[in-house]
Structure 1
Amino acid sequence: MEQEKRVFYVDIENAVVLENPVESETQFKIFGTDDEVARLRTLFEDNGDADFKTYETAHIPFLEYSKHEGNLEYDQTMIEIYALIYQLGDAEAKRHIESMGILQGPIGNNAP
């Protein structure tokens, strides 16, 4: 049985997916199934874990950003989050993400 898509609002800044809109500049409107929204929430959790890893090494002088696995993991999960929002988002969300350019280039080459 196919799940019905519903409207959700994604607040990037607070890493949450909500059923009701809130005042936020980092909010996107998406249309997703429960499974798709669960995937997005999992990506936010993974990103939070990766963010914590970046904190652990943030105080090490002379450690190149691209040499730390936590930084790369954080970047990749952000790209996956934006790619999924792009896939599920309304026209305004798609336009905004396109203007960011986050889904282009070597890291984001798996964009939709």
Structure 2
Amino acid sequence: MDNGKKTYYINVGSGEISQLSTASPWHFKIEASDDEIITLREYFDQVYSSDIQGFLRSHTPYIQYHYDRENDAIDDTNKQIYRMIYELGDEEAKNHIRTQGLISRIDEQE
């Protein structure tokens, strides 16, 4: 049965999404539709954009981390990324996210 989903391999650190498991190192295997991959790509792009803004802001040392909007944006987007990986991931991905306590931290924020 074709549900319109394909297998993708995700490297969270680099924001890489690939259909080839041998193309580069990956952390999670997911099954996702084209629309879900577009959403995940947008999340990775948001993290990258916020990271650049945070780098520029880091030259203003009097702002502490917990008062930094760019870091808040990265934290929020990372939660969305891990939630999406958890929902679309194989059992190994789900188990890793559970054992690292990422899902409970995500749930506590809502």
TM-score, length-scaled by structure 2: 0.86
Considering fraction of residues, name the structure with more helix: 2
Residues 1:55 and 2:55 aligned together: yes
By how many angstroms is 1:83 displaced? 0.6
Instruction: State the match for 1:38 in structure 2.
Output: 38
Letter of the structure 2 residue corresponding to residue 87 of structure 1:
E
Gaps of 5+ in 1: none
Distance 1:110 1:16 in 2: 27
Deviations 1:42-74 (A, max 9, x none): 110111111111111223224221101000001
* Displacement after TM superposition at 1:3 (Å): 5.4
Q: Which runs of 5 or more residues in structure 2 are unaligned?
A: none
Any conservation in 2 of the 1:3–1:34 contact (CA below 8 Å)? no
1:103 is displaced (CA, Å) by: 2.6
- Percent same amino acid among aligned pairs? 29
Deviating more after overlay: 55-64 vs 73-82? 55-64
Residue in 1 aligned with 2:28? 28
Secondary structure, counterpart of 1:109 in structure 2: helix
